[in-house]
Amino acid sequence: MNRIAMGVAAACLGTAAVASADSRTMIGTISDSLCGMSHKEMAAKQGAKITDRDCVIACLNYSTENSPKLVFVEKGGKIYQIANQKFPGMIRRAGDSIALTGEVDGTTVTVTKIEVAK
C-alpha cells in the first residue's frame, strides 16, 4: 500500500513541477547577460561601431568563471535567462527582432522555437 501512495505522491509532484512552467511566445532579441538590453556601452568602450550580434559573440567568448550567457530581452524590457543555451539558431539570430516560443518559469525560459518576428 505504501508503494501505491508513494507512486501517487511522486506523480502529483511531477505534475505540479510541469504545471509551474508557462508556454508562451514573446517578441524581443537574443542578447548576452553582460550587456543585457543595450550594447551601446560596450561599443563605446571598443571605440568602434559593432553590431549587436558581434557584441553578443564577443561577450560570450569571455573565458571567466562567470562568463556571460545568452539571455532573451522581451520587447517590454524584461530579461529572461535561457535554460537551453545550445538551442539551434540563437547565435545566428542574436540582435535581430525574433518571436521566441518557450516554457517560462519565473525569469527563465526554455526555448522551443525561434522565428523572425513579423
Q: Which domains are present in the chain?
A: 22-116 (2.40.50.500)
| Residue at grid coordinates 560570450 | 60
| pLDDT tens-digit map of 44-103 | 887 778 889 999 998 888 877 788 999 999 999 999 999 999 999 999 999 999 999 999
- Could you tell me whether strands 108-116 and 79-82 are parallel, antiparallel, or unpaired per DSSP bridges? parallel
Cα separation, 116 vs 98, in Å, equals: 5
For the entire predicted model, the pTM comes to 0.77
CB of 98 within 8 A of CB of 89? no
Torsional sign, CA 69, 118, 115, 111: positive
Does 2 score more than 90 pLDDT? no
